[in-house]
């Protein structure tokens, strides 16, 4: 009887394996997972060194996991069970709050020595950029902005890490080392606190600030740049940036369902009433836009609306993370500006062009044709500034390089 049962088990297991392998082979191969917001693993090349050191097998395991049969159906089902049956406080690395979805962070010991080393390495890079901009008479500033977990620190349960200790320590050490090197730095966190840290500034289902938060960044960033340029001019003439006031803009909700990065990770099983907004000028400013050095399919847009019936995401602003963009308004009396940084620049750019003759935006995560220093040297913009969120604030990668 035992021998028969072993045979039956082996046959069933073999059949199941064959079905799973056949399903994986014949199902459509996807390159990316929309809900996970990432690219799926590609089949690894079997190089001798990788096979011998075992790294090929690790990559193969990741590939098989990413392309396993019925994965796209099993994941949402497991997520639903964790949300509704087991009621876990953290699902798919998302902290489930009463009215907010936040990123999960493992508990961390804040190493002050390590933070200082990171801050000094970044500050040395920023000093090089600042000196370059100052060499032709321009003005440079580096800005740190709160991301979602900083806006909603108090929404984390007491037993989970809200990164407040890391946030405070990294901001403080960066401000110190940049001051030592004479690099202009603007921390928007205290600015938001002075404004009462209105919850309207941040998304509840996404890592980014809302268009209202972006407008607050824009307004205070330009005020700081004007202050720095005025001080440098010593009371003389300088090319000031005009700042759009609230009365100059019309904020309108977008007529499309908004799915943020957090509820997307939960396969949109927790829906939200949150809306994306536009900030359109009362007096429109005509412009021409180029992306990647080529004319954009619609060279008069900064907001990219989803197709009818489709959900909108944060790529609504500027079309997402474009490697390099130039917007020309043909108003030579106004200054030229270069903004660079990660995705937190996108919504700001939708307003910033209104204050410029030419606006360049660069994301060095995706732009590889030249270095940031080379772009600045070529364009020589009057103002150069970087926006980075608190999570990436000290990174010397991508937009931390020169």
- In this predicted model, what pLDDT tens digit does every residue of 161-209 receive, in sequence order? 999 999 999 999 999 999 999 999 999 999 999 999 888 999 999 999 9
- Please give the pLDDT value at position 309: 86
Instruction: Choose among 394, 384, 390: nearest CA to 338.
Output: 384
Q: What is the DSSP letter of 159?
A: T
The answer to whether 358 and 329 have CB atoms below 8 angstroms apart is yes
Distance in angstroms (rounded) separating the CA atoms of residues 178 and 129: 12
The answer to whether 276 and 246 have CB atoms below 8 angstroms apart is no
φ and ψ at residue 303, rounded to 5 degrees: -110, 130
Residues 6+ apart with CB under 8 A from 143: 185, 186, 187, 188, 217, 221, 385, 386, 387, 388
In this structure, the number of other CB atoms found within 10 A of the CB of residue 24 comes to: 16
Give the pLDDT band of residue 16 (cuts 50, 70, 90). very low
For residue 74, what are the CA distances in angstroms to 19, 65, 86, 265?
A: 16, 12, 16, 14
Residue 25, pLDDT > 90, answer: no
Distance in angstroms (rounded) separating the CA atoms of residues 264 and 93: 12
The answer to whether 267 and 35 have CB atoms below 8 angstroms apart is yes
Give the pLDDT band of residue 252 (cuts 50, 70, 90). very high
Residue 341, pLDDT > 70, answer: yes
Which residue shows structure tokens 């799973």? 20
Give the pLDDT band of residue 20 (cuts 50, 70, 90). very low
The residues spanned by each domain of the chain are: 1-69, 112-400
- Please give the pLDDT value at position 232: 94
Starting at the edge strand that comes first in sequence, how are the strands of the sheet with 94-96 ordered? 90-91, 94-96, 101-103
For the chain, give the longest Cα–Cα distance: 98
Strand partners, 338: 360, 384
- Please give the pLDDT value at position 211: 98
In this structure, the number of other CB atoms found within 10 A of the CB of residue 108 comes to: 10
- Please give the pLDDT value at position 48: 66
- In this predicted model, what pLDDT tens digit does every residue of 350-402 receive, in sequence order? 999 999 999 999 999 999 999 999 999 999 999 999 999 999 999 999 999 99
Give the pLDDT band of residue 34 (cuts 50, 70, 90). low
Backbone dihedral region of 119: left (phi > 0), alpha (psi from -120 to 50 degrees) or beta? alpha
Mean pLDDT for 252-267 is 95
Instruction: Choose among 239, 249, 180: nearest CA to 215.
Output: 249
pTM strictly above 0.85: yes
Distance in angstroms (rounded) separating the CA atoms of residues 95 and 88: 9
- In this predicted model, what pLDDT tens digit does every residue of 268-322 receive, in sequence order? 999 999 999 999 999 999 999 999 866 555 666 899 999 888 999 999 999 999 9
User: 303-307 long-range contacts, Cβ below 8 Å, gap at least 24?
Assistant: 303/254, 303/278, 303/350, 305/254, 305/256, 306/256
The answer to whether 278 and 317 have CB atoms below 8 angstroms apart is no
pLDDT: is 11 or 84 the higher one? 84
- Please give the pLDDT value at position 64: 61
């Amino acid at each position: 009887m035992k021998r028969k049962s072993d045979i039956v088990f082996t046959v069933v297991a073999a059949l199941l394996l064959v079905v799973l392998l056949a399903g994986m082979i014949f199902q459509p191969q996807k390159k990316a997972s929309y809900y996970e917001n990432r690219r799926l693993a590609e089949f690894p090349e079997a190089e001798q060194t990788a096979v011998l050191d075992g790294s090929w097998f690790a990559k193969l395991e990741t590939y098989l996991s990413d392309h396993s049969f019925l994965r796209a159906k099993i994941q949402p089902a497991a997520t639903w069970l964790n949300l509704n049956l087991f009621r876990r406080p953290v699902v798919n690395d998302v902290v489930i709050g009463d009215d907010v979805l936040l990123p999960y962070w493992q508990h961390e010991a804040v190493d002050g020595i390590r933070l200082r080393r990171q801050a000094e390495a970044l500050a040395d890079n920023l000093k090089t950029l600042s000196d370059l901009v100052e060499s032709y008479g321009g003005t440079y500033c580096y800005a740190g902005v709160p991301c979602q977990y900083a806006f909603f620190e108090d929404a984390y349960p007491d037993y989970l890490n809200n990164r407040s200790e890391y946030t405070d320590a990294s901001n403080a050490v960066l401000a110190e080392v940049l001051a030592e090197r004479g690099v202009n730095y603007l921390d928007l966190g205290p600015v938001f606190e002075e404004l009462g840290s209105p919850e309207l500034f941040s998304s509840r289902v996404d890592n980014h600030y809302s268009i209202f938060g972006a407008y607050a960044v824009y307004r205070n960033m330009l005020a700081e740049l004007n202050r720095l340029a005025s001080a440098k001019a010593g009371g003389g003439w300088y090319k000031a940036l005009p700042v759009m006031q609230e009365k100059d803009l019309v904020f309108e909700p977008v007529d499309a369902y908004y799915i943020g990065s957090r509820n997307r990770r939960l396969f949109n099983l927790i829906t939200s009433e949150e809306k994306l907004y536009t900030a359109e000028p009362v007096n429109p400013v005509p412009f021409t836009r180029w992306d990647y050095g080529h004319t954009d399919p619609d060279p008069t847009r900064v907001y990219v609306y989803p197709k009818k019936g489709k959900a909108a995401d944060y790529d609504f602003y500027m079309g997402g993370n474009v490697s390099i963009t130039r917007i020309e308004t043909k108003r030579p009396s106004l200054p030229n500006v270069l903004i660079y940084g990660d995705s937190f620049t996108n919504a700001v750019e939708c307003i910033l062009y209104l204050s410029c003759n030419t606006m360049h935006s660069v994301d060095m995560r995706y732009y590889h044709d030249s270095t940031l220093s080379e772009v600045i040297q070529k364009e020589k913009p009057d103002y150069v500034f970087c926006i980075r969120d608190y999570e990436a604030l000290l990174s010397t990668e991508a937009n931390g390089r020169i």
